[in-house]
Chains A and B, each alone.
Chain A
Amino acid sequence: MNEFLVSNTESIPGKTIVEFYGVVTGSTVRAKHVGKDILASFKNIVGGELKNYTELLQEARQEAISRMLSQAKGMGANGVINVRFSTSSIAQGAAELFAYGTAVRVE
Chain B
Amino acid sequence: MAQLIATLIMLLLTFVTGNLIERRHYKKIKMRETKFKDMLTTNFENIPYDWNASEARLVTSNVVISLDYFKRFVANLRKVFGGNIVTYEPLLDRARREAILRLKEKARARGYNAIINLRLETSQIANSLTPKQTAGVEILAYGTAIKINLNNDNTDVKIPIPEPLIQ
Partner of A13, one of B55, B71, B143: B55
B residues lining the A interface (CB < 8 Å): 10, 14, 17-18, 21-22, 25, 45-47, 53-58, 60, 62-69, 71, 98, 116-117, 119, 121, 123-127, 133-136, 138, 140, 142-144, 146
Main secondary structure of the interface of A (DSSP, over half): mixed
Whether the pair B67, A47 counts as a contact (CB closer than 8 A) is yes
Whether the pair B134, A40 counts as a contact (CB closer than 8 A) is yes
A61 to chain B: closest residue by CB: B60
Known: A46-B14, A57-B138, A61-B60. A9 touches B125 (CB 8 A): no
Alpha-carbon distance A30/B146, docked complex (angstroms): 31
10 smallest beta-carbon distances between A and B, as pairs: A47-B68, A53-B64, A87-B123, A13-B53, A6-B58, A47-B18, A50-B64, A7-B144, A46-B17, A7-B56
Whether the pair B66, A50 counts as a contact (CB closer than 8 A) is yes
Partner of B119, one of A7, A50, A51, A84: A84
Main secondary structure of the interface of B (DSSP, over half): strand
Q: What residues of chain A lie closer than 8 Å to B127, measured between beta carbons?
A: 89, 92
Alpha-carbon distance A95/B134, docked complex (angstroms): 14
A-B contacts, 27 listed (Cβ < 8 Å): A5-B57, A7-B57, A8-B142, A9-B56, A10-B46, A40-B66, A44-B68, A44-B133, A46-B18, A46-B69, A47-B14, A47-B66, A47-B68, A49-B65, A50-B66, A53-B64, A54-B63, A61-B60, A61-B62, A61-B140, A84-B119, A85-B60, A85-B119, A85-B121, A86-B121, A87-B121, A89-B127
